Homo-oligomer: A and B are copies of this chain.
Amino acid sequence: MKSFSIVLSRLLVILFISFLGCKNETSKDPTTKEAVEVLKDFTQYVNPFIGTSNFGTTNPGPIAVRGMANVSPFNVAGSQNLPLEKDSRWLSTPYINENPFLMGFSHVNLSGVGCPELGVILAMPTTGNLETNHLKYGSTYSEENATVGYYTNKIDKYNVKVEATATTRVGVSKYHFPAGDANILLNLGLGLTNEEGAMVKVVSPTEIEGMRSVGSFCYYKPEEAYPVYFVVRFSKPADKFGIWKKPRNYKGVEADWMTYNDETRIKENYTKEVVGDSIGAFMRYKFDKPSTVEMKIGVSYVSIENARENLEKETASKSFDDILTDAKKEWNTYLSRIEVEGGTADDKTIFYTALYHTLIHPNTLNDFNGEYPKMKTRETLKTDGTRYTVFSLWDTYRNLHQLMSLVYPKQQSNMIKSMLQIYDESGWLPKWELNATETTTMVGDPAGIIIADTYLKGIQDFDVDKAYEAMKKSATQLENNALRPGIKDYIEKGYLTTTTVHSGSVSTTQEYNISDFAIAQLAKALDKKDDYNTFSERAISYRKLFDKEFNLLRPKNDDGSWVTPYNPEAGANFEKNLGFIEGNAWQYTFMVAHDTKGLIELMGGETPFVNRLEDVFEKNQFDMANEPDINYPFLFNHIKGQEYKTGLKVNELLKQHFKNTPDGLPGNDDTGTMSAWAVFSMIGIYPVSPAEPNYALFTPVFDKITIHLDKNYYKNNELILSKKSTQEGIEIKVNTEVFDKHFISHETLTN
């Protein structure tokens, strides 16, 4: 298959060049003569609008694979966008599909998260007189379209067509202005983040540089707010340039003397640094005929110099069209690692868009030169590989990293290495790391679960001794434990109590159990028998919270008594709950996949277990939008004769929650976790128990799935999953063999 791959990548050049209507000089390259096979453009199956409504919190703007930069339309400010307006309610995305009013394009964004953050460095083209107030310069938009790495719309008020694309660290836009006065505004006040403060400096008529403060994800850790640096380059020198600043509204005697109080100040032709909360820069043009301006915004979390280098190294003399071609090519290289046959057109779109979503976060933190900020202090460090960031691990430990291990093991390996860098720098593995800050969002100690899972799948080119040391540290340090609050009670009693933590005592106990199970599994592989025994025992301590009365988990008080009265339904819909985090007893009780056998016993055998599991769905307690219960459907595979229910449930859930529409995700994509669920579910395997190199096997959506495996990690070149209807029902093949078991090991799948 190797030669095929080479042909494939060469052919792509031709494909996209013609796709974009460029001159096909490249086809003169003699090497392309090998290109004979049919080439697939998988990017055509991506609909970047999926997840941009129904709180999916993805955005349709262009981004490179795991890019640092992302050009998202920003339409969540201003009364025109009520009720989905960022200052009137909790809102965690720069773009919502149904919102009508656009304020510009933000250049660093998070995808599929539940807290407002980033959404800054906003650019906006306008025409006519200079207006710097976004509530006034905003506009409706139309003719919106998006494909992988490309977004376009028309800004109605100014009749300006916008096109955007991106490289890893550079957002690139092309503004089509009508004749007349044209303005490009760079607004550093407006943003989705809770943080304020920026610096901007016009370097020349073609360049602006600066920084914007961001931070306080979920309103946590405001003291760790940090800068994102940028350099903006314009293809045409501005006729006029300048900055604006709107200071705070002064009160008291001083206000009496200020004739200019509460007014925006414009500084034309000003070339020094300006700082403030509400500032921006502008470039102005006078066009005697319709004209385009291309704008490149390089970003960095290290320095302005690095932002400039990123811009130069990644986009150099490339035009917008060159960059777009490259972006599409890169995406196809990744998307084509899984080829599917069969299914409807919508199925393919849902699938490849989901795969696309899993390739956004974790994303690149390091600059082109390898530099990245150290955790917390932000000293400059350097990495050889990629330093990944945006580790929303409470979400992604469940399936996203398992997908990476199978399809993109090199990336997964680098993600583990990034986690170990974080450990080196901060003394702790990440929990919810964001741009070199640990936000401490959610509960549990998830990094070790991913490390064990990855190692046990044969991806072992990282320092496993250090990893093991890091995992044991958070599992054993009793005082000032950054990852496991309540660890003393957990070790002594086997569980957290309602006194140990304000909420989520049961959930957190379960999370620690899973982490300890992961340590045990890794200990076994590393031949550390004592640890294996200790942590295996710890890993099932949740059993002490199992209440026979309800056949569900139930929180306990400090004295060991049950919390009374007890309503297992309490805590759904994200209400605060003594025992559970973002869920209730129904949504958590089965979240012990590593000990499903134990749970079956606790519940009194397979029948009560299956009944209780079906109750979850029938009592409408299943929540597709939240992580704790998303592996429930696959648990039917454990019970002989009930396995068929897995496929049924999964199909039902796919149909209900995953659609080729903006509201086609069940809720927050959770940095790709929901999408990873869809990817696995549609190809008929699911990693039901993290840190166990096993998959539940069930009927896929597609007739045939070919996964091109990475030869550096796996023996086989490819893995083919296929289904065929036979007289006895549906026959599933793994590669060429019919497979009739309900679980399949990673080893079997890949080697």
Contacts and interface: CB of A to CB of B under 8 A. Distances in A.
Given A245-B225, A260-B222, A275 B211 contact: yes
Given A213-B274, A254-B194, A276-B277, A377 B227 contact: no
A253 B82 CA distance: 14
Contact of A271 (B195, B269, B270, B379): B379
A194 B277 contact: no
B219 A275 contact: no
A248 B196 contact: yes
A247 interface: yes
A23 interface: no
Contacts of A258: 194, 219, 222
A645 interface: no
Contacts of A266: 223
22 contacts: A87-B252, A88-B253, A89-B253, A195-B247, A196-B247, A196-B248, A196-B276, A197-B245, A197-B247, A197-B274, A211-B275, A213-B274, A213-B275, A219-B257, A222-B258, A222-B263, A222-B265, A223-B265, A223-B267, A227-B275, A269-B376, A276-B277
Given A211-B275, A271-B378, A253 B87 contact: yes
Contacts of A213: 274-276
A90 interface: yes
A468 to B, nearest CB: 28
Interface residues of A, number: 48
Nearest to A213: B275
A88 B252 CA distance: 8
Interface of A: 87-90, 194-199, 211, 213, 216, 219, 222-227, 245, 247-248, 252-254, 257-260, 263, 265-267, 269-277, 373, 376-379
Contacts of A222: 247, 258, 260, 263, 265
A260 B222 CA distance: 7
A276 B379 contact: no
Nearest to A272: B378
A90 B223 CA distance: 35
A308 to B, nearest CB: 16
Contacts of A88: 253
Nearest to A195: B247
Given A194-B258, A253-B89, A273 B199 contact: yes
Contacts of A252: 87
Nearest to A198: B275
Contacts of A198: 275
A254 B377 contact: no
Contacts of A248: 196, 248, 277
B196 A269 contact: no
Given A87-B253, A258-B219, A260-B219, A227 B273 contact: yes
A379 B271 CA distance: 6
Contacts of A270: 376-378
Contacts of A263: 222
B227 A272 contact: yes
A445 to B, nearest CB: 24
B199 A271 contact: no
A259 B220 CA distance: 9
Given A194-B258, A197-B274, A198-B275, 9 more contacts: A196-B247, A219-B258, A219-B260, A222-B258, A222-B263, A225-B265, A227-B272, A227-B273, A227-B274
A15 B87 CA distance: 68
A194, A197, A211, A260: most-surrounded residue (chain B CB, <10 A)? A197
Contacts of A273: 199, 211, 227
A209 to B, nearest CB: 12
The 3 closest A-B pairs by CB, nearest first: A223-B265, A197-B275, A272-B378
A254 B194 CA distance: 8
Given A274-B213, A277-B277, A219 B259 contact: yes
A259 B272 CA distance: 36
A491 to B, nearest CB: 29
Contacts of A89: 253
A629 to B, nearest CB: 27
A266 B247 CA distance: 23
A121 B396 CA distance: 47
A211 B201 CA distance: 13
A377 B269 contact: yes
A253 B258 CA distance: 30
A376 B268 CA distance: 9
Given A247-B196, A248-B196, A377 B265 contact: no
Contacts of A90: 253, 257
A270 B377 CA distance: 4
Nearest to A90: B257
Nearest to A264: B223
A87 B199 contact: no
Given A219-B259, A245-B225, A248-B248, A276 B377 contact: no
Nearest to A223: B265
A222 B259 CA distance: 10
Contacts of A373: 272
A561 B38 CA distance: 96
A271 B303 CA distance: 12
A213 B272 CA distance: 11
Contacts of A254: 87, 194
A396 to B, nearest CB: 25
A260 to B, nearest CB: 5
A438 B421 CA distance: 53
Contacts of A194: 254, 258
